[in-house]
């Protein structure tokens, strides 16, 4: 694999032969996976729990070992910066919070590969022309607090710090109080200074790369996300004595909504996906018609117009079936983000570097949300995907081969080094000159 610049006309300082350490990267991934361990080799570190604090402490210790300047802002985002060169930083990073059934790579890879990039250059005696920063963003998953990508959203000014701190978790905890409790209520300002550029390394979390036999994804953007919670209030009654014609059954409506979401996803096809991820029935007894049902709807598409159209059809369907059954329905938005398109110049850069490393590459959108989609609001942004075996994620069985992890980290190294030595207009020129 060559580390010569794919943009020779810009005369980048060479990092020929400089590669990240497989042993260090895998060692840190394995050590972090031991924090909040669950059966099957995964981890559970819900945002701002004790396990999340312990994971944060480990990351901060590694940052200190590297001599990085560490800042923690008001929503608990951690940024470790190698203060070399001049100007705004080239930034990477991701998150270490997990869903309840988390794997060992989701989010973690992006953070630890960033530390590895810095340590690799330090060990080689090389300094970039700009600072390098590694971010650890709070509550990316949205598994405990909504919306997801909350920390990154505050970081770029898309959500006020005050609103974020007042957010109530699924277990009733208040975000601001939890930050104080675990000792990560920092003083660095929110929003923060925009980076020069942001590149995030992540496992795909889906099956496309593996299915198509491709080793690297140059991510073009992130599809729009619509999360809502629907509450249906009916009439609780005896399951044996209440005729079907006289029922006002929230469970039936919940089932109708679930089936409709599958039907509308099939109708639209393409990138349209719809999921009912959670259903709660009360009183949840075998011989009682429920009095209420609460369910979550997760609807996503890469096209904002289609996403809005699907949202409207779902709302109309819910209204129609609730009137027919004689139940009351209310809903609240948990998260709503429009589709994001990444910077074309950085997508080209990732694609070029993958080829330079002799890795097959394809352009592709992300079906999952990522911190990068928030950073794209304030700076040129791209992502690097590595394959996920069988597309399994949010599951302890989540797996990416060591070879793929290391390849992704080496491409991240070259991408950050390139961006540190290029003004983005120069990058434009390089790409137009046919370097890709």
Determine which helix (DSSP H) or strand (DSSP E) holds 397, and give its type and residue range: none
Ordered per-residue pLDDT tens for the chain, 436 residues: 344 444 545 566 778 889 999 999 999 999 999 999 999 999 999 999 999 999 999 999 999 999 999 999 999 999 999 999 999 999 999 999 999 999 999 999 999 999 999 999 999 999 999 999 999 999 999 999 999 999 999 999 999 999 999 999 999 999 999 999 999 999 999 999 999 999 999 999 999 999 999 999 999 999 999 999 999 999 999 999 999 999 999 999 999 999 999 999 999 998 899 999 999 999 999 999 999 999 999 999 999 999 999 999 999 999 999 999 999 999 999 999 999 999 999 999 999 999 999 999 999 999 999 999 999 999 999 999 999 999 999 999 999 999 999 999 999 999 999 999 988 776 665 554 433 3
Contacts of 242-245 with CB under 8 Å at 24 or more apart are: 242/289
The confidence score (pLDDT) of residue 2 equals 40
* Ramachandran bin of 221, using left for φ above 0, alpha for ψ from -120 to 50, beta for the remaining angles: left
**Nearest to residue 123, comparing CAs of 430, 413, 415?**
413
3-state SS, residue 262:
helix
Say yes or no: 105 and 149 in one domain: yes
d(CA 20, CA 120): 6
Do the Cβ atoms of 60 and 70 come closer than 8 Å?
yes
Label residue 38 exposed, middle or buried (CB < 10 Å: 0-12, 13-18, 19+): middle
Q: Indicate the angle between helix axes 402-420 and 344-356, nearest 10 degrees.
A: 130
* Residue that is last in its domain, among 337, 354, 379: 337
d(CA 300, CA 337): 9
Does residue 426 form part of some domain? yes
Task: Give the DSSP letter string of 93-128.
Answer: EE-----TTB-SSTTHHHHHHHHHHHHHHHHHT---
Does residue 3 form part of some domain? no
d(CA 249, CA 253): 7
Label residue 298 exposed, middle or buried (CB < 10 Å: 0-12, 13-18, 19+): middle
Say yes or no: 181 and 286 in one domain: no
Does residue 2 form part of some domain? no
What is the CB neighbour count within 10 angstroms for residue 423? 12
Quote the domain boundaries for residue 243.
224-337
DSSP secondary structure letter of residue 156: T
Taken in order 336, 190, 409, 351, is the CA torsion positive or negative? positive
CATH of the domain at 323: 3.30.70.360
Give backbone dihedrals phi and psi of 50, rounded to 5 degrees, phi first. -60, -40
The confidence score (pLDDT) of residue 5 equals 47
Beta strand spans in 65-211 (E)? 69-72, 78-82, 90-94, 132-136, 197-203
d(CA 91, CA 152): 13
Say yes or no: 102 and 186 in one domain: yes
Say yes or no: 61 and 144 in one domain: yes
Does residue 80 form part of some domain? yes
* Residue that is last in its domain, among 286, 320, 337: 337
Say yes or no: 13 and 75 in one domain: yes
Under 8 Å CB-to-CB from 84, ≥6 apart: which residues?
127, 128, 130, 131, 132
The confidence score (pLDDT) of residue 1 equals 37
* Residue that is last in its domain, among 337, 368, 387: 337
The confidence score (pLDDT) of residue 11 equals 64
What is the CB neighbour count within 10 angstroms for residue 368? 18
Return the half-sphere exposure (C-beta side, CA atoms, 13 A cut-off) of residue 96: 33
Say yes or no: 215 and 235 in one domain: no
Does residue 62 form part of some domain? yes
**Nearest to residue 253, comparing CAs of 202, 297, 216, 300?**
297
Say yes or no: 88 and 202 in one domain: yes
Say yes or no: 275 and 373 in one domain: no
Say yes or no: 12 and 152 in one domain: yes
Does residue 411 form part of some domain? yes
Say yes or no: 56 and 80 in one domain: yes
The confidence score (pLDDT) of residue 16 equals 80
Does residue 61 form part of some domain? yes
3-state SS, residue 252:
helix
Does residue 151 form part of some domain? yes
d(CA 189, CA 75): 9
Say yes or no: 355 and 330 in one domain: no
Say yes or no: 152 and 270 in one domain: no
CATH of the domain at 180: 3.40.630.10
Domain count within the chain? 2
Instruction: Determine how β-strand 273-282 pairs with β-strand 292-301.
Output: antiparallel
């Amino acid at each position: 694999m060559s580390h010569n610049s794919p943009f020779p006309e810009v005369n980048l300082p060479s990092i020929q032969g400089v590669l990240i350490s497989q042993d260090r990267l895998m060692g840190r991934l394995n050590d972090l996976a031991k924090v909040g361990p669950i059966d099957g080799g995964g981890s559970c570190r819900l945002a701002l729990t004790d396990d999340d604090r312990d994971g944060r402490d480990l990351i901060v210790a590694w940052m200190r070992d590297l001599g990085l300047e560490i800042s923690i802002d008001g929503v608990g985002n951690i940024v470790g910066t190698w203060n070399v060169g001049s100007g705004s930083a080239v930034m990477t990073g991701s998150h270490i919070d997990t869903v309840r059934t988390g794997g060992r790579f989701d989010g973690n890879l992006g953070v630890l590969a960033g530390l590895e990039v810095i340590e690799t250059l330090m060990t080689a005696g090389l300094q970039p022309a700009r600072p390098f920063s590694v971010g650890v963003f709070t509550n990316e998953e949205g598994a405990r607090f909504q919306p997801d990508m909350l920390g990154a959203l505050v970081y770029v000014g898309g959500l006020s710090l005050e609103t974020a701190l007042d957010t109530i978790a699924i277990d009733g905890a208040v975000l601001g109080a939890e930050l104080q409790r675990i000792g990560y209520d920092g003083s660095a300002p929110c929003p923060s200074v925009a980076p020069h550029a942001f590149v995030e390394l992540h496992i795909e979390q889906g099956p496309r790369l593996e299915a198509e036999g491709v080793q690297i994804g140059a991510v073009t953007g992130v599809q729009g996300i619509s999360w809502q919670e629907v509450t249906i209030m009916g009439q609780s009654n005896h399951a044996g004595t209440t005729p079907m014609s006289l029922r006002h059954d929230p469970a039936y409506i919940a089932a109708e909504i679930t089936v409709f979401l599958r039907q509308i996803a099939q109708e639209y096809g393409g990138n349209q996906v719809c999921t009912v991820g959670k259903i709660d029935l009360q009183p949840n007894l075998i011989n009682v018609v429920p009095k209420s049902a609460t369910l979550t709807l997760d609807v996503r598409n890469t096209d904002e117009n289609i996403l809005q159209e699907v949202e409207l059809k779902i709302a109309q369907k819910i209204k129609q079936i609730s009137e027919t059954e004689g139940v009351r329905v209310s809903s609240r938005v948990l998260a709503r983000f429009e589709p994001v398109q990444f910077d074309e110049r950085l997508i080209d850069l990732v694609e070029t570097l993958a080829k330079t490393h002799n890795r097959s590459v394809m352009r592709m959108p992300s079906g999952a949300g990522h911190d990068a989609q928030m950073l794209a609001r304030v700076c040129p942004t791209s992502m690097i995907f590595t394959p996920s075996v069988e597309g399994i994620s949010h599951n302890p069985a989540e797996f990416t081969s060591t070879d793929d992890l290391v390849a992704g980290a080496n491409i991240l190294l070259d991408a950050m080094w390139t961006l540190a030595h290029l003004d983005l207009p120069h990058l434009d020129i390089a790409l137009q000159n046919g370097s890709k």
